[in-house]
Amino acid sequence: MNAKRMEHIIEYTVFLVKNFAGRFEIDMRDAFNYLNRYEGIRYIENNYDFEHTQNPDYTVETLRNVCRKNGGEL
């Protein structure tokens, strides 16, 4: 993966963590830890090409569902 693509994925991941934290009224650290623990961060990395073209609200809901499938409870 080239450096520019990685930069875009990181920026998008931070954006989504902020949105996820806001949606569920948790701080960013807790949001990141939750997404990391329940495979949401991996999902973002693996599906960046599609997800970055979607509405952020849709993607936050998708992340919620991914995490639930992996044992998360939000």
Residue 17 Cα distances to 2, 7, 12, 13, 56, angstroms: 23, 15, 9, 6, 11
pLDDT for position 5: 94
Q: Is the pTM of this model over 0.85?
A: yes
Quote the crossing angle between the two packed helices 40-51 and 28-37, to the nearest 10°.
90
At 1, the pLDDT band (50, 70, 90 cuts) reads confident
Given a contact cutoff of 8 angstroms between Cβ atoms, the answer to whether 65 and 47 are in contact is: no
Taking only the tens place, the pLDDT of each residue in 26-60 is 999 999 999 999 999 999 999 999 999 999 999 99
* pLDDT score of 62 more than 80: yes
